[in-house]
Structure 1
Amino acid sequence: MDHIVRLDSRQEAALQAIADKFIAQHQGDAVKALKEMIVLNGHLQERLDTVEGSRRVRG
């Protein structure tokens, strides 16, 4: 892991609420929700890598 994120109690509560909603969208199946989150994060990482790669080529 490259970066550790520290949250204050307000941020932690907001993150928990979002996580609860995401799991509820998957009928309460936390494993199913986690799998979808991994896939979504993979897509986002690919897009970030593409953007970073194009910045290196230009810059």
Structure 2
Amino acid sequence: MDHIVTLDSRQEAALQTIADQFIAQHKGDAVKALKEMIVLNGHLQERLGAVEGRRRARD
């Protein structure tokens, strides 16, 4: 893990709402929702890596 994020109570409440909605989309199956989130995070990490690679190539 690169860094730890600290949330205030408002941000925590908003994140909880989004998490609840995401789990509800998976019919209450938290494990299935977590697996999808891991896959989505992997795709985003790949895209960020590609962008960072292009930036380094220009510099």
- TM-score, normalization by structure 1: 0.98
Q: Percent identity?
A: 85
> How many correspondences in the alignment?
59
Stretches (4+) displaced over 2 A: none
Gaps of at least 5 residues in structure 2 are: none
Q: CA shift at 1:31, angstroms?
A: 0.1
Q: Which runs of no fewer than 5 residues in structure 1 stay unpaired?
A: none
TM-score normalised per structure 2: 0.98
Letter of the aligned partner of 1:48 in structure 2? Answer: L
Q: Which residue of 1 aligns with 2:29?
A: 29
- Aligned-residue RMSD, C-alpha: 0.3
1:13, distance to aligned residue in structure 2 (A): 0.1
